[in-house]
Amino acid sequence: MSHDVDPRAVAARLSTRRAGDGPLLLCLHGIGGSSATFEPQLASLADLATVVAWDAPGYAGSPDSGAHLTMDDYADVAAEVIEAHGQGRAAVLGMSWGGVIAMRLAQRHPERVRALVLGDSTRGSGRSPETAAAMRSRAAELAEVGPDVFAQRRAARLLRTSAPADEVASQARAMASAIRLPGYGDATASMAATWLDGSLGTIDVPTLVLHGDDDRITGAPESEAIAAQIPGAVLRVVPEAGHLANTENPMAFDAHVRSFLRALAPARR
């Protein structure tokens, strides 16, 4: 891990939510989210797994890390979270930015990952100098306008086109309560510096790729590219959902996850 930060110490300070009993399912939220993003999964999958959702370092209830974390750093911290829960390996569910962390986790710590579920994810934002700069600019915008206005500007596009106004408002409130600097700035910088295209063939675990049918952020192109590059990956579409498919249509999303997890070989303790 870079910057002389101890990933175990960072992991030990994280705020997490936990439900259920069984093989570990670690949930990693998107760049504007928190562990609250996974309330539907904490409720609906608890009969099948020990569901643990983190607040990433510097998000919601987790303290700032004290250093500027890279994508590899986030992956290393996630590996420590898995070890701390005593099961050795976990299925990892990552949404958007959390999916990028999950893929790097599988590449850097394959001994910790038994399966991946990648929801509305991406290969990163480092495709070009322009896409990287656009991602980095978000931190300056957050600093300028504050979390409430920042979230209000983004909430509608995260959701399906048909999302009602009260759902958009609720999403804006959730985002505003989750994000702050410097944590959000570290997250955007990690995305800007990452482009996993061409490297995903090294991932050697069962993988389920999901995206909302009305995801206007990453959508079908990114999910299809990820599924094509990870050997054996399965691609499924969640109807009536945008970029936040696990919260917009949790019944359909969780049905895919449940079927996938049930098909896995028993976890090694």
Average pLDDT estimate for 23-33: 98
Tens-place pLDDT, residues 101-149:
999 999 999 999 999 999 999 999 999 999 999 999 999 999 999 999 9
pLDDT number for residue 27 = 98
β-strand pairing of 90-95 with 24-28: parallel
Average pLDDT estimate for 33-60: 98
pLDDT number for residue 1 = 42
Q: Which amino acid is at 262?
A: R
pLDDT tier at 3 (50, 70, 90 boundaries)? Answer: low
Count CB neighbours of 236 within 10 A.
18
Average pLDDT, the chain: 96
The domain segmentation of the chain, as residue ranges, is 7-263
pLDDT number for residue 242 = 98
pLDDT number for residue 265 = 61
pLDDT higher than 60, residue 269: no
Query: Treating both helix axes as pointing N-terminal to C-terminal, what angle do 71-84 and 97-108 enclose, rounded to 10 degrees?
Result: 70
What are 246's two structure tokens? Answer: 């696990």
* Beta carbons within 8 Å of 64's beta carbon, 6+ residues apart: 57, 58, 182, 183
Q: Whole-angstrom Cα distance, residue 134 to residue 220?
A: 21
Tens-place pLDDT, residues 202-218:
999 999 999 999 999 99
Q: Which CATH number fits domain 7-263: 3.40.50.300, 3.40.605.10, 3.40.50.1820, 3.90.1150.10?
A: 3.40.50.1820
- Sheet with 207-212, strands from edge to edge, namely 16-19, 50-54, 24-28, 90-95, 113-119, 207-212, 234-238
